[in-house]
Structure 1
Amino acid sequence: MKNIILTTLNARYSHSSLGLRYLLANLKELKNEAEILEFVINSSVQTIAEQILEKKPKIIGIAVYIWNAFDIGELVRIIKKVSPQTIVVLGGPEVSFQPLRVNFDMADYIVCGEGEVSFYNLCRELLDGNCTQPRTIHSPKVDLESIVLPYDDYTDFDIKNRHIYVENARGCPFECEFCLSSIETKMRYLDINVFLDELEKLWIRGARNFKFIDRTFNIKISYAKAILNYFLAKQEDYFLHFEVIPDNFPEELRDLIKQFKPGCLQLEVGIQTLNLDVAREIHRNLKIDKIKDNLKFLSTQTHAHMHIDLIIGLPSETIESFGKNLNQLYTLSTGEIQVGILKKLSGTTLDRHDKVYGMVYNDSPPYDILQNDLIDFSMMQKMKRFARFWDIVYNSGNFQKTTALLFEDGKVYENFYDLSIWLYKRSESTYKISLDRMAEFLFEYMLPKHDEELLANTILQDVMKVGGRKIPPFFKKIIPQNYDFAQKEVSKANKRQIVRQENE
């Protein structure tokens, strides 16, 4: 039995909560009375409540995020109904800023902001029976040099089965209005030698899958170089994920990135828009020439796999402007282009555009835009399906040769928009479409404009590049019986990334 249970619902089983481990690490004398229990969204909330309450905790601390807010709201209600004496404390970005758009009224306490110190103080007072804290606790920023780091609290099971999340800095120097990170423009860094020591301890324990949550990994070049050099010195395989700004890759950083082998390095590159007028409207600083040069460098001279972010629905951005952005990015990079839908998060200043541009958002998570003065509701719905099909067809890496054929005239947005409209009418769904079924759909859609055998062979080269696959039954009627495909073994760990790179 534990007095304190720390819990959350992660988006995937392979994810782990760095925030919970920070809380656990900083509980001081209460640490032995605490335990982390992690679950996954879309699990039975009643079963989750059952497993938590089996521990008979006095305090339950729950981390709330945009993806789990609804489930957490239900979880709180169930816990308080069946065990009203149990104290529920909420924290995390979804409850740190007003307005709260999910009902958390049954929670006993809400910790806003960084909770490493505040949560400990609250638990100590609650367990001592003399709590004087208000229901809503506003936590000040912590000193990264004075709090206990959380990395020893990753278990051996975590290291073997999950991504290990790490951070060397908090804050972001930019003021992009759609992003919560823009609230804190002052950067705070952990001493680089202390951080590298923590990485080494994790490495010795067997950690090989690291996700850095720093918002701008390459903003401080000396620290970025030290971290990259640390991993380049390792002889074993590993996987690293960094969020980077697209305009800051000096030669000294380029020289290091070029040395990483395929499958080792993944970069999330925030573009959002290439329209300078739109960027200025949301306080986003774009250096277009540098962005183009760096994307070309990363695509042609490195093995880094890229996730490049574009957003639909930004204030003052038309569909035509978004289409130009997509067409241009396709020519600049071979990486995945993550097509996202604008969300209005509590705490950001995005709401200042609501009246000017007629911005209308969903009041429930994920708070996505429904329409604005330039994109009506019907068109926004079409673009949400566009984004979903784009992920299935293009970003998956399953149809690289096929999409190259589809986009051969350079009209990436226009051609894929038409395809997405057709796909939705044909499938009546954006989910649970098998690889074989999508291959058949693509063949059916593209056949009027392409030679039958060429098209079939192109699609089959995509489908059959994963070793051990069988030719989809539909295509057996079209291709020669003796058609030979080179079988390739693809690592399960980073299949999506490696499949893409083999096509480049």
Structure 2
Amino acid sequence: MSRPRVLLVGVNARSIQANPALYSLRRAAARQGMGDMLRIYEYALHTPHQQILAELYEAQPDIIAFSLYVWNARMIISLIGDLRRVMPRLKIIAGGPEATARGSHYLRHLPADAICIGEGEESFCAWLCALAERGLSAAGDQPLPVTPGFLVAGAEESYCPAPLPDMAALSFPYDEETAAYLRGQAKLVYYEASRGCPHHCSFCASARQKLRERPLELVFPELARLAEIGGQIKFIDRTFNADPGRAIVITREILRLHRQGLSWHFEVSPFDLPEELLALWCDAPKGYFHLEIGVQTLTPAALRAVGRRGEWSAAEPQVRRLINSRGSHVHLDLIAGLPGDTRRGFEQSFHRLHQLNADYLQFGFLKVLPGSPLAGQAAELGLIFSGEPPYQVLATPDMSPADLFALHRAERAFNALYNKTRDFRDSLLDLAEQSGNALRIYDRAADLMQWRGLNRGEAAALVQRLANENSGRE
């Protein structure tokens, strides 16, 4: 009997993204002689439901393996429901961070036939080998194999975890054909030189994962291959500068690869910025590096509550220097709704970061992710949050639902006026400086917007009205 036909399906947040996990799985399978069993189908959240359903149906696979994240879980749950109706013999597998964190839940409620728990390059291939050795079509009635790392319906008691793969043994995700596709489609290209994180921020799903690094003798030639693909290369390492010395070495190599049309994105801690690394990023060709700096909060009680270390007073001059150099594009992250934070505390954090005038300030909301330490502490901390993805906080002991809903409205106004364009940046910085509380500017803008979108002319008129009100002319 022929080997089963398996589709690896990803639903990305945006159409310019590509899911690196799918390409890693296919490359790992190819090394085992099973690459011909797998085909990759990628979509975006805006792709019509019926289009995805029709294309998956037309492919007539035996197995569909979905990559589940908090941002796509609802859409994939809906797709699986309809696939079950039109392809009743289809086998459904789910993997990825969301499936890993709630494996038993999704096994019952998708429902899935199996869940791939954790990192799948080795465990998924071992499961495929077991499936192929049976010489059966997965659409048949025989049970699916039970192998380490796979939670299989009807055999839950037999589950055992798979060992973590050796970072040196993983394949580079992109073969020549895939590289040509990514280049031709101008996709964002994702890469990881490490997994896990040495920090223990309780809201992070990686808080319990030990840092594991890919050897530099493999990283360097892979950087050259990534540079050949071009566009923006996004490192998905949790903290690129967790080892500052290693970050310096990689940054120097990336600078050597500089050419037009190429840029590199890192997630960075503000508390591990030695002078040499700081100088490399400040003096880089304009826009070559995109640095996403995870500040999250400046409120001491909130920092303690989520286990974050570091003194902002020491980090702020370095972050300010990066922003003012304009050598690198700087993106700051701030989270509302953290335990221990208050409305006033958030206002103070927001104002200080706002006035740094970074290229982008992300004003986000706490997500109580399954599998994170915070999820286990939520009841004790008095956190109220949505029970379904993306598990966003709804209330805390220090922030009422009304407080958080008001912040959502302010965030919408802030993104429209501050992040979407730099046309009004100087005026907004001046208004915030005069008021001493930047958030009040966007609270008022939200009152005037009433959840509406704005074109450029309307945005300009709104900023002028805010200025007039602030000066007492209205």
DSSP-derived class of the 2:59 partner: coil
1:298 aligns with 2:325: no
- 5+ unaligned residues in a row in structure 2: which ranges? 137-141
Among residues 90, 95, 98, which one is paired with 1:94 in the alignment?
98
Please list, as runs of the form range in 1=range in 2, the aligned pairs for 1:127-206 lying within 5 A after superposition. Answer: 127=132, 128=134, 129=136, 131-133=144-146, 134-135=151-152, 138-152=161-175, 154-160=178-184, 161-184=186-209, 186-204=210-228, 206=229
Q: Which residue of 1 aligns with 2:113?
A: 108
1:287 aligns with 2:311: yes
1:307 aligns with 2:331: yes
Inter-CA distance 361–420: structure 2 relative to 1 (3 Å threshold): farther
Inter-CA distance 411–368: structure 2 relative to 1 (3 Å threshold): same
Contact 1:232 1:259 in 2 (8 A): no
For the residues of structure 2 that align with 1:292 and 1:212, how far apart are their CA atoms?
24
Among residues 357, 369, 378, which one is paired with 1:354 in the alignment?
378
Contact 1:60 1:87 in 2 (8 A): yes
Q: Alpha-carbon deviations, 1:447-499, whole Å to 9, x = none?
A: 334598xx9xxxxxxxxxxxxxxxxxxxxxxxxxxxxxxxxxxxxxxxxxxxx
Inter-CA distance 360–451: structure 2 relative to 1 (3 Å threshold): closer
Please list, as runs of the form range in 1=range in 2, the aligned pairs for 1:450-489 lying within 5 A after superposition. Answer: 450=471
Shift of 1:393: 1.3
Q: Alpha-carbon deviations, 1:242-273, whole Å to 9, x = none?
A: 00110111122123112312222111111111
Contact 1:151 1:198 in 2 (8 A): no
Among residues 428, 434, 441, which one is paired with 2:450 in the alignment?
428
Q: How many residues align?
A: 447
For the residues of structure 1 that align with 2:42 and 2:245, how far apart are their CA atoms?
35
Contact 1:219 1:248 in 2 (8 A): yes
Q: Which residue of 1 aligns with 2:27?
A: 25
Contact 1:216 1:244 in 2 (8 A): yes
For the residues of structure 2 that align with 1:155 and 1:49, how far apart are their CA atoms?
27
1:217 aligns with 2:240: yes
- 5+ unaligned residues in a row in structure 1: which ranges? 456-504
Q: Which residue of 1 aligns with 2:18?
A: 16
For the residues of structure 1 that align with 2:37 and 2:358, how far apart are their CA atoms?
50
1:405 aligns with 2:405: no
Q: Which residue of 2 aligns with 1:58?
A: 62
Please list, as runs of the form range in 1=range in 2, the aligned pairs for 1:232-247 lying within 5 A after superposition. Answer: 232-237=255-260, 238-247=262-271
For the residues of structure 2 that align with 1:155 and 1:35, how far apart are their CA atoms?
16
Q: Which residue of 2 aligns with 1:269?
A: 293
Inter-CA distance 400–263: structure 2 relative to 1 (3 Å threshold): same
Inter-CA distance 59–101: structure 2 relative to 1 (3 Å threshold): closer
For the residues of structure 1 that align with 2:304 and 2:243, how far apart are their CA atoms?
24
Q: Which residue of 2 aligns with 1:344?
A: 368
Shift of 1:35: 1.3
Contact 2:414 2:442 in 1 (8 A): no
Shift of 1:99: 7.4
Shift of 1:200: 1.2
DSSP-derived class of the 1:307 partner: strand
| RMSD (Å) for aligned C-alpha atoms | 2.3
For the residues of structure 2 that align with 1:422 and 1:101, how far apart are their CA atoms?
41
Q: Once the two structures are aligned, what percentage of the paired residues are identical?
A: 27
Contact 1:257 1:302 in 2 (8 A): no
For the residues of structure 1 that align with 2:111 and 2:27, how far apart are their CA atoms?
27
Q: Which residue of 2 aligns with 1:439?
A: 460
DSSP-derived class of the 1:266 partner: strand
For the residues of structure 2 that align with 1:156 and 1:414, how far apart are their CA atoms?
45
- Comparing 93-102 with 11-20, greater Cα deviation is found at 93-102
